Amino acid sequence: MFENLRQHLEGKQFLTNKEEIIAHLQVLLKKVIQRQEKVGIAFSGGLDSSMLALLSPNCQLYTVGLENSSAVAWSIQVAQELKKPIKTKILALQEAERIIRDVVHILKSADVTHVGIGCVVYAVLEMAKKDGIKIVYGGLGAEEIFGGYKRHIEYGKDLTNIHDRLWEGLYGMEQRDLSRDLPIAKHFGIELVAPFLNEELVAYAMQIDPTLKINN
């Protein structure tokens, strides 16, 4: 995934003007996500999903969490700040067991990490399905193109290879992430879209100077 794109970008000079970069990223992201119909957003209240919510003119946010989860309270607070409608689901034990069984059946896998993340995707899409939502956005890919994981701080100590690491993360997404999420989306008849994996957006983001992604 994206191997040919990397070859196309080889030798190009990195972009360094922050104001121009931010403005153009906004244009590219809007181009991907702005649609006439209402869309759902898998919402955590973090940077990636908040950006999608902020730029989507007609959206419904969905958040899933366990009982006493601070993440759900945070998502509600951020949604209120953004003035966007949000629906939340608190997973009780019995319902969590049902979802785990369904996800294991869909994925034909009992891998703990795979199923755990898949359960969140399942719960979000189940809510969206009940609302008649046909398209749901997620923040998948943003960490890979902007260096958003904690491990990228360690990679960033050697800025000569940070983009090598980011490309490696992108290459593995089809097998690691999309192979999990897309079958669950198919189960619900919903189109699951990862705007940050749009090829034009990825191409631009991977031309940004790595010192603007990882510093201090």
Contact (CB, 8 A) for 47 and 75: no
Question: Residues 170, 148, 38, 192: what is their CA dihedral angle, to the nearest 10 degrees?
Answer: 30
Which pLDDT value is given to residue 131? 97
Which pLDDT value is given to residue 176? 87
Edge-first strand order for the sheet with 39-42 is 86-91, 59-66, 39-42, 135-137, 191-193
Contact (CB, 8 A) for 60 and 85: yes
User: Scanning the structure block, which residue is given the tokens 């902020």?
Assistant: 54
User: Scanning the structure block, which residue is given the tokens 């969590």?
Assistant: 96
Which pLDDT value is given to residue 160? 66
User: Scanning the structure block, which residue is given the tokens 């181009």?
Assistant: 31
Which pLDDT value is given to residue 195? 96
**Which residues face 60 on adjacent strands?**
40
Give, in order, the Cα–Cα distances in Å from 166 to each of 3, 6, 205.
12, 11, 11
Which pLDDT value is given to residue 161? 76
3-state SS assignment for residue 148: coil
Burial of 185: CB neighbours in 10 Å, binned 0-12, 13-18, 19+: buried
Length of the chain: 216
Structure tokens at 7: 């070859």
Spans in the chain with pLDDT lower than 50 = none
